[in-house]
Amino acid sequence: MTPPSPPFRRLLIANRGEIALRVMATAREMGIETVAVFSEVDRNALHARRADRAICVGPASPSESYLVPEKILEAARATECDALHPGYGFLSENADFSDACAAAGITFVGPSASAIKTMGDKVEARRAALAAGVPLVPGDDRSIDDPAELAAKAEEIGYPVMLKAAAGGGGKGIRIVNEEGELASAYQLARNEAEASFGDGRVYLEKFVTRPRHVEIQIMADKHGKVVHYGERECSVQRRHQKLVEESPCVALTPELRAQMGDAACALASAVGYVGAGTVEFLYSEGEFYFLEMNTRLQVEHPITEMCYGVDLVREQLRVAAGHPASHASEPQGHAIEIRVNAEDPDTFFPSLGTITRLAVPGGPGVRLDASLFVGQEITPYYDSMLGKLIVYAADRERAIERARRCVREFRIVGVSTSLPVALRVFESEEFREGDYDTGILERIDRSVPESTLEVAGLAAAVAKFHRSETFSAPASEGRGHGVTPWVLVDRVARLGGRR
């Protein structure tokens, strides 16, 4: 039997970090040659080392390297790539870039420029959703400038309401208004913030949904008009719209709701002529779901879907980009949880910079690690603080949570602080374990380290210090003699408890 011929000959991966490695893994398994791009500070990064070819695209600052369409395209042309995978972030949702790839005869592994444009503009996206019959949060999709009209509309929707930037994202330009008295000043603030952040001051009104869950549907659309969905991901464990823990399936959904949301997501994708992998985000609250936005790329948290559906979404992306029909989505099984590993202080969430000096990663059944970590890796301030993702899979939710806890406890990264302890707090919280949580969970759970652990840590520190004092006062000449093999030496030093 001859293996099927790969859909592309050579793929440029226009990204870095774990997602570049993730894409590379599938491309390589499919027999596609890979080309990495890297910035000057990323010369030692795994993606630049592991690819078949690697091209330097400029200085550390993304705006001078990974974000420059011309440089990325030039790298693709110079290496004669026939396809380009943008990953997430960077140029993945840049409509002009999608166009430029097409013009250069390079297949952009993602949707068309028009689909990116439509979904990238919140006002237009809402309009498209409305037209496709997808439920929306009650609101007004027009940006309103007249204060009287704004007040009337807010009254009609019912307080609390939200003001959101039309060109927004990442939580910027959002204001919650509890009553009419706050409306005028909130409107001005939202406008200013939107103008400052996006150069576009348009804002619109929306009902503020209480105790919302963030539930998203994974879709895959081919070039023949077929759209399939791969169920949902629950992403409510987040802080300032930055997700920390995701799980699939979502405990709140019934099979009927799942089918309804899946159908709605597919309808929206069809309506905008979508091709490729996409995620339709919904707010879910008390049996109702409302369209939030569509992300026109592969999501960070895609692995939990892959675990439950036994699908390789990157393979599907590459197949549909080459014109193959989308595969049939099988029935989901089991439960998957993803924990994002961010280089940040677990208490303050400040980015933590440094060099990774030691690493112990979890393994065993049902464990997947999508990460670009290595000992000697420098965590620089130029890029996202996410170092990778730990994904666990088990037969049911309870077992998945226990597996996640085990793995977080086994995971050790030295040199930078990580967000891993926060995930531990989540898994230990009643709220998460019972499954009845919403996007406010991280602010509510007790984030303090258990007293019993502090006690062990104190004792460990004291023992280590005592051990050091014993070691330093031991005779230093021992084991330094000639005629001793390094192995014997190591053994002796170890027995002495010597420090290197």
Q: Which stretch binds other proteins (CB under 8 A): 116-124, 131-139, 245-253, 346-354?
A: 346-354
Asked if residue 486 has a cis previous peptide bond (ω within 30° of 0), the answer is: no
- Any idea which residue has 């995971």 for tokens? 411
Q: Does 466 bind other proteins (CB under 8 A)?
A: yes
Q: For 301-377, where are the alpha helices, taking DSSP H only? A: 302-309, 313-321
> Minimum Å distance from CB 339 to other proteins?
11
- Decide if residue 462 touches other proteins (CB under 8 A): yes
Q: DSSP secondary structure string, 50-114?
A: HSSEEEE-S-SSGGGTTT-HHHHHHHHHHTT-SEEE--SSTTTT-HHHHHHHHHTT-EESS--HH
Among 16, 175, 297, 368, the one annotated catalytic: 297
Among residues 436, 455, 478, 491, the one that binds other proteins under rule CB under 8 A: 455
**By CB under 8 A, is residue 192 in contact with other proteins?**
no
Active site includes 297? yes
Candidates 51-59, 70-78, 299-307, 406-414: pick the segment binding other proteins (CB under 8 A): 406-414
Asked if 196 is part of the footprint of other proteins (rule: CB under 8 A), the reply reads: no
Residues 6+ apart with CB under 8 A from 482: none
Is 152 a binder of other proteins (CB under 8 A)?
no
CB of 232 vs other proteins, minimal distance in Å: 28
Exposed / middle / buried, residue 471 (Cβ in 10 Å: 0-12, 13-18, 19+): middle
Min CB(336)–other proteins separation in Å: 20
Nearer to other proteins, 47 or 340 (CB): 340
409 in contact with other proteins (CB under 8 A):
yes
* Neighbour tally for 31: CB within 10 Å: 13
Output the smallest distance, CB 137 to other proteins, in A.
25
Which of 77, 211, 465, 480 forms a contact with other proteins (CB under 8 A)?
A: 465
The DSSP annotation for 199-232 comes to S---EEEEE--SS-EEEEEEEEE-TTS-EEEEEE
Alpha-carbon span 190 to 296, nearest angstrom: 25
**Of residues 412-451, which lie at the interface with other proteins (CB under 8 A)?**
412, 414, 417-418, 420-421, 424, 448-449
Asked if 326 contacts 220 with a C-beta cutoff of 8 angstroms, the reply is yes
Binding site for other proteins (CB under 8 A): 345-346, 348-351, 358, 405, 408-412, 414, 417-418, 420-421, 424, 448-449, 453-469, 494, 497-500
Instruction: Give me the active site residues, please.
Output: 297
